[in-house]
Structure 1
Amino acid sequence: MNVAARYKIVDGHKFPRQGAFVFSPNHYSEIDPIVMGMVSWKLGRLPRFLAKASLFKLPVAGWLLTKSGQIPVQRGGSVRGSEPVKAARRLVERGQMVVVYPEGSLTRDPELWPMRGKSGAVRIALEQGIPIVPAAHWGTQQLMERYSKKLHLFPRKTILVKIGDPIDLAEFRGRNLDTATLNEATAVVMDAITALLEDLRNETAPAKRWNPSEHDQKETGRFEA
């Protein structure tokens, strides 16, 4: 990965060097976890990820995921499942970090802007009482395009990364973590990630964030205005 890309990290000093926290970047390429894992490593931390449980059944790869402390999540499930919750508690006890993509999957926004987020990242942060640190990166799509499995190793790419300030979730702490509260907190996180990406791209994101459920309903004729 060092041969394939150079990393220009802006505000790397905002990345916590110790203690437990949730690291939440944007997501638009299959290789993003490796890229942000490299960034975390370069900034002095060993990353942990929420990963599909099916990956842990693969020969060799599954063993590596388990031994490196990655967290299995059942497909179609959520971080509310018992194993992810227990794993999050262990992270806090050990002062480790976990990378959680708030979008849950690759963005479906045509221009690769962050889409509507899911509640996994904020739920862990709020339930465990740990910070959530937003980040954005740009340039990974030159290394591997969205939905592609092909790596473009040469010429060497430049990946821009910007680390944000820890997000203040104080107004949500102590509240019932119902759907409305989690969605509100998630929107705050997505706004922060989008602002960081705007800085990297020197562009302005669309006023309305891409909502996959709305577009799916439109495509199937089930959308009601």
Structure 2
Amino acid sequence: MAELVYPPVIGAVRTLFKAADLRIDVGGTEHVPRDGGAVLVSNHIGYLDFLFCGLAARPAKRLVRFMAKESVFRHKVSGPLMRAMKHIPVDRSAGTGAYDHALNALRSGEVVGVFPEATISPSFTLKSFKSGAARLAQEAGVPLVPMALWGTQRLWTKGRKRDLGRSHIPVSIRVGAPVSASAEESADGVTERLRGRVQELLESAQRAYPGRPRGPEDAWWLPAHLGGTAPRPEQLAEHV
């Protein structure tokens, strides 16, 4: 079936990024398979992360079907677009339907995008990973493709105003070699290896990142362990 909506949306997103003069640095796109199913797995630091993950899959000419919370599909603007682009709604109170939907997509040769932290990390460090991505890859017999994003939190993240103007903000995207998901290994074991690989990619993106806070008030987007003022993970845990 022809993709009537997804390609024009990608074109609009690229125009938006160009208008904002974002400095996007992408590395490792050769690791996204050009055919067959795969689970694309990324850290989650901003509301626009799915756009950048999808961008990294374009050199391989792949369209990513993202798993996203069901409320996004109920929105009068985003809902019709999400459905037309064949993204996958996730009802956290009944996740079996979303899992089966994603599994069928993978078996049909689609790339499915997953944020295994399940929500944005306010500390901008990796939270623990849910095992769903690993279980999907194991059951479908497809690879996990790890990815890390850095800089997207500066555009729009939880608790901060959007900065979508001509901001010149750098955004780094790193894609790693596929992680095997053997059915003989536990899903928790695969998840642990996957998280370690995403952590390596995240640190690589952070080391290469050209942007620095412009002063103390602008240090909010930098993790505490890198000298910023973002809350530490343990501080957030105290309020859970």
| Structure 1 position 62, deviation (Å) | 1.6
Asked if the contact 1:143–1:153 (Cα under 8 Å) also holds between the matched residues in 2, the reply is: no
Matches within 5 A, 1:1-225: 1-3=16-18, 4=20, 5-78=22-95, 81=96, 83-108=97-122, 110=123, 112-170=124-182, 173-174=183-184, 181-202=186-207, 216=237, 218-219=238-239
Structure 1 stretches of 4+ moved >4 Å:
none
Asked if the contact 2:116–2:133 (Cα under 8 Å) also holds between the matched residues in 1, the reply is: yes
User: Aligned partners of 1:67 and 1:102: how far apart in 2?
Assistant: 24
Asked if the contact 2:38–2:110 (Cα under 8 Å) also holds between the matched residues in 1, the reply is: yes
- Structure 1 residues 152, 62: CA separation in 2 closer, same or farther (over 3 Å shift)? closer
Aligned equivalent of 1:223 = none
Asked if the contact 1:122–1:182 (Cα under 8 Å) also holds between the matched residues in 2, the reply is: yes
Equivalent residue of 1:104, what SS?
coil
Unaligned runs of 5+ in 1: 176-180, 221-225
Asked if the contact 1:116–1:211 (Cα under 8 Å) also holds between the matched residues in 2, the reply is: no
| Structure 1 position 90, deviation (Å) | 2.7
- TM-score (norm. length: structure 2): 0.74
User: Aligned partners of 1:153 and 1:35: how far apart in 2?
Assistant: 17
Asked if the contact 2:49–2:152 (Cα under 8 Å) also holds between the matched residues in 1, the reply is: yes
- Structure 1 residues 215, 146: CA separation in 2 closer, same or farther (over 3 Å shift)? closer
User: Aligned partners of 1:77 and 1:106: how far apart in 2?
Assistant: 21
| Structure 1 position 77, deviation (Å) | 4.2
Equivalent residue of 1:48, what SS?
strand
Whichever residue aligns with residue 101 of structure 2, its letter is A
- TM-score (norm. length: structure 1): 0.79
Structure scoring higher RCO (CA < 8 A, sep ≥ 6) equals 1
Unaligned runs of 5+ in 2: 1-15, 209-223, 226-231
RMSD, aligned α-carbons: 2.7
Residues 21-77 of structure 1 deviation map (CA, whole Å, 9 limit, x = unaligned): 000011111121122223323542111111112222222422221121111111344
Aligned length: 203
User: Aligned partners of 1:215 and 1:138: how far apart in 2?
Assistant: 20
